[in-house]
Amino acid sequence: MSRISDTWHGIPREKIPWFPSVDEIKCIGCSLCFVTCGRNVYEMVGNKSKVVNPYNCLVGCTTCETVCPVGAISFPPKDMVHKIEREYAVLKYVQKESKRKGIKVALDKARAEAERVVSQANRRVEFTISGHILERDIPKKLVDITEKCDCDVVNLSMNIPSLKVCYDEKAPSVAKFELVSQKLEDVSHCLDEMDKLLEENDIVIVEQKKIS
Ligand code: SF4
Ligand code: SF4
């Protein structure tokens, strides 16, 4: 059976002796630990539970110990884990992981919100634009416009073949996005404002497509 992870918050997993031990005499072979553990730590051998993949055990988890009806499962003292956490200065590593996770959670929320807005939109217009989009701060200017007219810009993606060439040689970049509105039936005012903004900043509309 392959290892689920070789490390735990940056610490080699085998340096952490956190895994269950089964008292064979107490074990009544009910299989509860075997079917409860989602990490394939156990196998049933004959009428007894056996720990076959100890380092697959999630550090800190004690679920199987909790559910075992006869108290046949035990774990090392929690102090052992705390000592290893201090020894490897794990909290510094965890802070970085926490930042990464925080960004992912925020991104997932923003995606879900964009999907909700799109699914409830009365009007959707898809744009492909090209020009000096970053240098002219176009995304921020689009936000300023849409905030004033009950619209939103969603699913913005940019294609910048080379940042260096884009900034040093003034090469254009391309952006795609959707202008959506949940409240308005008529978004022509917002489209006019957008046209004006893009023209003032020498941004070309490569394609403008009404979706709904
Ligand atoms: S839950 Fe307890 S009694 Fe049941 S198989 Fe596992 S160790 Fe044995
Ligand atoms: S503590 Fe959790 S991960 Fe470890 S063997 Fe038990 S159920 Fe599986």
Mean pLDDT (the chain) is: 94
pTM of this prediction? 0.75
Is residue 33 within 6 Å of ligand 1 at its C-beta? yes
Task: Compute and round to an integer the Cα radius of gyration of the chain.
Answer: 28
Within 69-187, residue ranges assigned H as helices are: 78-87, 90-119, 138-148, 163-168
**If pLDDT is split at 50, 70 and 90, which confidence band does 1 have?**
low
The angle, 0 to 180 degrees and rounded to 10, between the axes of the packed helices 138-148 and 188-200 is 150
Residue 174 has phi, psi (to 5 degrees) of: -120, 140
Indicate if the pLDDT at residue 2 is higher than 80: no
Indicate if the pLDDT at residue 125 is higher than 90: yes
**Closest-lying ligand 1 atom to the alpha carbon of residue 42:** 6
Least confident interval from 50-59, 98-107, 120-129: 120-129
Q: How far apart are CA 142 and CA 203, in angstroms?
A: 12
Q: Say if domain 120-210 classifies as CATH 3.40.50.2300.
A: no
**Ligand 2 lining (C-beta closer than 6 Å):** 20, 36-37, 39, 41, 57-58, 61-64
Cβ neighbours of 149 (radius 10 Å): 17
CATH topology for 7-77? Answer: Alpha-Beta Plaits (3.30.70)
- Which ligand ends up closest to the CA of 49? 1
Residue 79 has phi, psi (to 5 degrees) of: -55, -35
What's the CA angle centered on 181, arms 178 and 182, to 5 degrees?
130
Q: How far apart are CA 17 and CA 58, in angstroms?
A: 11
Indicate if the pLDDT at residue 52 is higher than 70: yes
User: In a mutational test of the pocket of ligand 1, which residue from 21, 25, 31, 49 has the highest number of ligand atoms less than 8 Å from its CB?
Assistant: 49
Q: What is the mean pLDDT of residues 118-138?
A: 93
State the distance between the two ends of the chain, measured CA to CA, in whole angstroms: 52
Domain 7-77 identical in fold to domain 120-210: yes
CA of 208 to the centre of ligand 2 (A): 55
Cβ neighbours of 57 (radius 10 Å): 23
Q: How far apart are CA 59 and CA 211, in angstroms?
A: 50
**Closest-lying ligand 2 atom to the alpha carbon of residue 65:** 6
CA 193 centroid distance within chain: 35
Query: Which distant-in-sequence residues (6+ apart) come within 8 Å of 34 by Cβ?
Result: 42, 43, 44, 49
> Where are the chain's structural domains?
7-77, 89-118, 120-210
Encode pLDDT of 55-113 as tens digits.
Answer: 999 999 999 999 999 999 999 999 999 999 999 999 999 999 999 999 999 999 999 99
Nearest CA to 179 out of 168, 169, 188 is that of 188
